[in-house]
Amino acid sequence: MPMKIKAAVFHGPNQPLTIETLELDDPGPGEVLVKIKATGLCHTDLHIIEGHQPQPVPAVLGHESAGVVVAVGPDVSDLREGDHVVPFLLPECGVCPNCQSGKTNICLKIGERTGTDFSRLSRNGQRIHTFVGMGTFADHMVIAADRVAKVSEHASFEGACYASCGGATGIGSVRRHDVDREALVAVFGLGGVGLNVVQGAALAGAQVIIGVDTNDAKEAVARKLGLTHFINPDKVESVAAEIMAITVMGATHSFECIGAPAVMREAIAATNAFYGRCTIIGVAPSGSELTTPVQQLSMGKTVGGLLMGGVKARSGLPSLVSEYAEGRVNFDDLISHRLKLDEINEGFAMMKQGLSTRTVILFD
Ligand code: NAD
Ligand code: ZN
Ligand code: ZN
């Protein structure tokens, strides 16, 4: 029997999300119904709201969440009613060559069950789209079970939720690229993701962690997590020159966590020419290009991207959530605002102005 749910619906670029009652079908084979308890606002959602990424409408956005399983479809044997879970952007089927490999978190089933054909949402008979088969800006969601991790019941829902994108992406990126005690790290953008790069680098014992952000207010929370130097790009002539002055040969590991090609160029320039690695985490507007002097790459520097910190849905996320539950990872100080679903547009307005670190929507 389809159920009525409450969701924030996206109707087109730069329009406010509207709170509506929708119908949600029962979970089909290989799917689960999750009651969402918390969902975070990630800048990837804002990119879509601002029209920087293609998205069919009307749609329910949102991909960072935690909740409780309330029903499972046929063929689901490893999840049951009452499980505390974290849905993830990527599947982990567990049997394909990529799932068997430690080198990548990109399951070969990526892209399956993400299109409108698989949306279980409708309104008056009209199918409603979702963001890549998720749609966490709603009090319930049906999702493929191979994208759902069972996590510790000792973790708060808001912390477990944040782990599923901001936490995994930030901390996972640091761990994937072997940041160690000799590392000289530069983090561009100290938002929900960048602060977790800082945290991950500090946990790894990096000797220098430089944060770059246009908002001075980000410095205090970043220092609490282990930041050693802060640069406001609006107050210096050249960010790359400042980073060179601190690190002598450039950052051994730099991370762009904004999504601005001009900042990516700066991050590459600030990376050690011989053995540095620049990781592009930020999502740039669809179709944009990155230019950088090729000469900079000829001596050994590497530049690359990373999706969801290289973290695997079901074998990687639960341990991160447990680290949080045990107090070894701090998400609580990074959650600056807790709102209700009806206040979601205010949450995105704050993100746009750089006034929040992570905003989490809490459901009853
Ligand atoms: P956010 O809005 O919380 O943080 C962005 C930060 O960048 C803010 O602190 C802001 O003040 C700062 N900033 C903006 N422009 C700047 C500039 N020109 N110079 C310096 N600082 C600047 O965003 P978020 O949720 O942390 O997401 C960051 C980026 O990461 C987004 O592009 C998002 O789409 C992307 N993302 C990628 C992945 C992935 O898997 N690769 C996962 C999650 C998010
Ligand atoms: Zn995200
Ligand atoms: Zn797989």
Q: How far is the CA of 354 from the centre of ligand 2 (A)?
A: 16
**Please, which pLDDT band fits residue 236 given cuts at 50, 70 and 90?**
very high
pLDDT tens-digit profile of 147-163? 999 999 999 999 999 99
Q: Using CA atoms, how far apart are residues 333 and 151, in angstroms rounded to an integer?
A: 21
* CA count, 13 A, side-chain hemisphere, 43: 24
Q: How far is the CA of 282 from the centre of ligand 1 (A)?
A: 6
**Please, which pLDDT band fits residue 364 given cuts at 50, 70 and 90?**
confident
pLDDT tens-digit profile of 20-56? 999 999 999 999 999 999 999 999 999 999 999 999 9
Q: Using CA atoms, how far apart are residues 201 and 226, in angstroms rounded to an integer?
A: 8
| 233: its two tokens | 């790009």
Place of tokens 């890549």: 132
Q: Do the Cβ atoms of 24 and 130 come closer than 8 Å?
A: no
Q: How far is the CA of 107 from the centre of ligand 3 (A)?
A: 4
Asked if residue 283 has its Cβ within 6 Å of ligand 1, the reply is yes
Residues in Cβ contact with 238 at an 8 Å cutoff, skipping those fewer than 6 apart: none
Asked if residue 308 has its Cβ within 6 Å of ligand 1, the reply is yes
pLDDT of residue 112: 87
Query: Of ligand 1's atoms, which has the minimum distance to the CA of residue 43?
Result: 25
pLDDT tens-digit profile of 202-229? 999 999 999 999 999 999 999 999 999 9
CA end-to-end distance (rounded Å), the chain = 22
CA nearest ligand 1 atom 1, residue: 191
Alpha-carbon distances, residue 242 vs 60, 186, 257, 259, 269 (angstroms): 42, 11, 19, 21, 11
Query: Of ligand 1's atoms, which has the minimum distance to the CA of residue 262?
Result: 18
Q: Which domains does the chain have, with CATH numbers?
A: 3-165+310-362 (3.90.180.10), 178-305 (3.40.50.720)
Alpha-carbon distances, residue 2 vs 120, 131, 144, 151, 321 (angstroms): 9, 20, 17, 27, 31
Pocket test for ligand 1, best of 39, 41, 43 (most atoms within 8 A of CB): 43
Q: Look at the pTM and tell me if it is higher than 0.85.
A: yes
Asked if residue 47 has its Cβ within 6 Å of ligand 1, the reply is yes
Place of tokens 């009525």: 4
Burial of 7 (0-12, 13-18, 19+ CB in 10 A): buried
